[in-house]
């Protein structure tokens, strides 16, 4: 014979199971996403340095996610399911260049995002990398002021192309000197203080 207390616990467990089962059948189960559901333009970047600049210029009009964490192996990172999911959710992808981050192309093969604009190619569609600058010297490359200016121009042009109605907002936030500061800060967080670059 089941005691009253045990019967109450059993009844509670069955009720909880029924509610959970009903919710799943009704389509109320939680959907795991990388970007917030209401996030404006969803910008995916290959590295954190690009993400910092995209956040500065995009401000509250964008949601930015970096594929790599600050201390991740840039040359040959481990491709994860969350990376593929982020690429499938993104509206635009910002990267350095196929020669510097070829793993992005490998990741793209796992995705089915037809609307994603991969910002590489000719003109201002990608960050220009000269042949003399080696992959192993990525930090020095990103510390260069001209590189930072190129990054800022690419990010601005990309956001304006993707979301033209907010062009004036993006241009107001596109301080090239601040982009340089943000990149340098990301590369030397341990020993530097961040310059105040508030977003409007």
Confidence of residue 178 (pLDDT cuts 50, 70, 90): confident
Residues 49 and 26 in one domain: no
pLDDT tens digits for 20-47? 333 334 333 445 678 887 668 999 998 8
Residues 175 and 90 in one domain: yes
Residues 57 and 146 in one domain: yes
Residues 17 and 103 in one domain: no
Residues 108 and 149 in one domain: yes
Residues 12 and 79 in one domain: no
Residue 87 within any structural domain of the chain: yes
Strand partners, 65: 44
Strand partners, 3: none
Residue 159 within any structural domain of the chain: yes
pLDDT tens digits for 108-139? 888 887 776 655 433 333 344 444 455 456 67
Residue 113 within any structural domain of the chain: yes
Answer whether 136's CB lies under 8 Å from 167's CB. no
Residues 62 and 127 in one domain: yes
Provide the domain count of the chain.
2
Q: What sign does the dihedral 58-62-67-68 (CA atoms) show?
A: positive
Residue 160 within any structural domain of the chain: yes
Residue 195 within any structural domain of the chain: no
Which residue range forms the structural domain that includes residue 9? 1-30
Residue 196 within any structural domain of the chain: no
Residue 175 within any structural domain of the chain: yes
Q: Tell me what pLDDT residue 164 has.
A: 94
Higher pLDDT pick, 89 / 9: 89
Residues 50 and 12 in one domain: no
Residues 92 and 56 in one domain: yes
HEC sequence for the chain: CCCHHHHHHHHHHHHHHHHHHHHHHCCCCCCCCCCCCCCCEEEEECCHHHHHHHHHHHHHHEEEEECCCCCCCCCCCCCCHHHHHHHHHCCEEECCCCCCCCHHHHHHCCCCCCCCEEECCCHHHCCCCCCCCCHHHHHHHHHCHHHHHHHHHHHHHHHHHHCHHHHHHHHHCCCHHHHHHHHHHHHCCCCCCCCCCCCC
Residue 152 within any structural domain of the chain: yes
Residues 49 and 117 in one domain: yes
Report how far residue 162's alpha carbon sits from residue 156's, in angstroms, rounded to the nearest whole number: 10
Q: What is the CATH number for 161?
A: 3.40.50.1980
pLDDT tens digits for 135-153? 456 677 777 777 778 888 8
The answer to pTM > 0.85 is: no
């Amino acid at each position: 014979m089941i005691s009253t207390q045990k019967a109450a616990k059993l009844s509670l467990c069955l009720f909880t199971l029924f509610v959970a089962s009903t919710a799943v059948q009704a389509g109320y189960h939680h959907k795991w996403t990388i970007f917030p559901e209401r996030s404006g333009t969803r910008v995916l970047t290959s590295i954190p340095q690009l993400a910092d600049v995209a956040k500065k210029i995009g401000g509250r009009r964008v949601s930015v996610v970096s594929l790599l964490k600050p201390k991740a192996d840039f040359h040959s990172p481990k491709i994860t399911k969350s990376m593929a999911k982020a690429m499938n959710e993104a509206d635009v992808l910002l990267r350095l260049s196929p020669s510097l981050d070829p793993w992005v192309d490998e990741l793209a093969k796992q995705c089915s995002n037809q609307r994603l604009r991969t910002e590489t190619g000719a003109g201002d569609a990608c960050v220009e990398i000269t042949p003399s600058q080696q992959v192993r010297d990525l930090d020095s490359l990103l510390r260069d002021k001209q590189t930072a200016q190129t990054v800022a121009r690419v990010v601005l042009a990309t956001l304006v192309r993707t979301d033209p109605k907010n062009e004036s907002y993006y241009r107001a936030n596109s301080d090239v000197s601040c982009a340089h500061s943000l990149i340098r800060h990301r590369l030397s967080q341990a020993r530097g203080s961040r310059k105040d670059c508030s977003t409007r």
